[in-house]
Amino acid sequence: MTVEALLYLSYQAEDATFHWFTHLFVGASAALLVMAVIVARTRRPVRLPLLWPVLGHLAAALPDALFSRGIAHERWMDLFLGHVSAHALPGRNLSWYALFLAVVAIYLAALWRRVPARP
Amino acid sequence: MRPPETFGPPGSPERGSGGTGGERPREARGGLGPRRCRAGAALLPARLSTGPLDDTDLALQRPGILDADRAPSPAPRLGGEISEPGVRAVVFFVRPMQLGRLRRALAEDRTLARAARLAVVVSGETSLRPPPKALLVVDRLRAFASGFGMRAPRDHGPPVGYAIVDRSGLVRYRTLDPGVAQRLGEVKTMLRDTP
């Protein structure tokens, strides 16, 4: 939460909170998908579940850190979870938000299906 | 169509404060419908942080990449040495009340004018002098704003932002940016990337 708060403040200082949300939803969704696959295959919850979405967000937002260092965005930066193309999704952040909620549901479904109830 | 006026060399006295341009009045909450509020409650902070001078599509505001939403297009000729082949140019678009702040920022900056020709397109009459080493153009009918492909802000008024023209005279970057006077470093970042 502290990392996310610091990230948010850094985007807010640049009048760019819209982009914070975009990369949060993209990064966290990618992380949750990976977590869901791991849960489905191992039948165990992942360790440090809150850390994964944060790492996903950091990966998705890395080009913005480069931008603040004076490096403009390039198309190859889509390697960072579609950093550039993510903004082209119709519906913008509302669509990413809906996708994020869907992925959360997928992850929770994977948890409930695969994790045996404890005695 | 009435042609835009081009101001000559600095000479007229600067009057008025004119320095409130970068401040962004908060958008009224009434603009958000109840259904949208419920669906995107998590997005509310970002929504509330937008102002009337922001782009209606925030994904297109300060994208940080050349040719973000459209192919390069020839830049309109502003006069002077702006838009001449072989020279990069930064064309700022402001409203009269933002000119004072931009003028001060450009006066304090030492590198931007060396890297590119500068022009400031103002959407209305102003008594302020042109920024140093910059061409000042009055564009009441938004002919230049339209020619450079500047998008209209949320209040449907004249744009506040900038466009970057490459050495071949093509507009490669255009964005609304109500706080551009505080973000000349970002302008330089995009200019460095412009051929």
pLDDT digits (tens, 9 = 90+) for A2-38: 889 999 999 988 889 999 999 999 999 999 999 999 9
Alpha-carbon separation of residue B85 from A119, B92, B144, B189, B191 (angstroms): 77, 19, 18, 21, 16
Q: What is the mean pLDDT of residues A105-110?
A: 95
pLDDT of residue B33: 43
β-strands B73-74, B134-138 pairing? unpaired
Residue B195's CB is within 10 A of a number of other CB atoms, namely 9
Interface mutation target, options A4, A17, A18, chain B, most CBs of B under 10 Å: A18
Whether residue B60 contacts residue B89, with contact meaning beta carbons closer than 8 Å, is answered with: no
pLDDT of residue B52: 93
Greater confidence, B3 or A86?
A: A86
Q: What is the mean pLDDT of residues B174-179?
A: 96
Which residues of B make CB contacts under 8 Å with A?
24, 36, 39-40, 42-43, 45-46, 49-50, 57-66, 178-179, 183, 185, 188-190, 192-193
Give the mean pLDDT of chain B. 80
Closest chain A residue by Cα to residue B190: A72
pTM: 0.81
What stretches of chain B adopt beta strand conformation (E)?
5-6, 73-74, 89-94, 117-122, 134-138, 161-165, 170-176
Cα separation of A93 and B172, whole Å? 25
Alpha-carbon separation of residue B176 from A52, A101, B55, B56, B153 (angstroms): 34, 31, 6, 10, 7
Percent of residues, chain B, with pLDDT higher than 70: 73
- B65: nearest CB among A12, A22, A84: A84
Whether residue A55 contacts residue A26, with contact meaning beta carbons closer than 8 Å, is answered with: no
Is A115's pLDDT higher than 90?
A: no
Please choose, from the candidates B62, B189, B111, B188, the residue with its C-alpha nearest in 3D space to the C-alpha of residue A71: B189
Alpha-carbon separation of residue A4 from A8, A58, B145 (angstroms): 6, 9, 38
Residues in chain A within 8 Å Cβ distance of B66:
72
Confidence category of residue B94, pLDDT binned at 50, 70, 90: very high
Cα separation of B136 and B109, whole Å? 17
pLDDT one-digit tens code per residue, A39-64:
999 989 999 999 999 999 999 999 99
- B65: nearest CB among A16, A72, A94: A72
Torsional sign, CA A73, A75, A81, A83 = positive
CB spacing of A87 vs B66 below 8 angstroms: no
What are the tokens at A24?
Answer: 């949060």
Which residues of A make CB contacts under 8 Å with B?
12, 14-18, 20-22, 64, 67, 70-75, 84, 87-88, 92-94, 97-98
Confidence category of residue B120, pLDDT binned at 50, 70, 90: very high
Is A79's pLDDT higher than 60?
A: yes
Please choose, from the candidates A96, A75, A91, the residue with its C-alpha nearest in 3D space to the C-alpha of residue A26: A96
Please choose, from the candidates B148, B145, B87, B144, the residue with its C-alpha nearest in 3D space to the C-alpha of residue B114: B87
- A87: nearest CB among B36, B49, B63: B63
- Residue A53 exposure: Cα atoms within 13 Å on the Cβ side: 16
Confidence category of residue B44, pLDDT binned at 50, 70, 90: low
Q: What is the ipTM of this complex?
A: 0.85
β-strands B5-6, B117-122 pairing? unpaired
- A87: nearest CB among B59, B66, B185: B59
Please choose, from the candidates B95, B164, B99, B91, the residue with its C-alpha nearest in 3D space to the C-alpha of residue B131: B99
Interface mutation target, options B53, B62, B176, B188, chain A, most CBs of A under 10 Å: B62
Q: What is the mean pLDDT of residues B3-25?
A: 37
Q: What is the mean pLDDT of residues B27-37?
A: 40
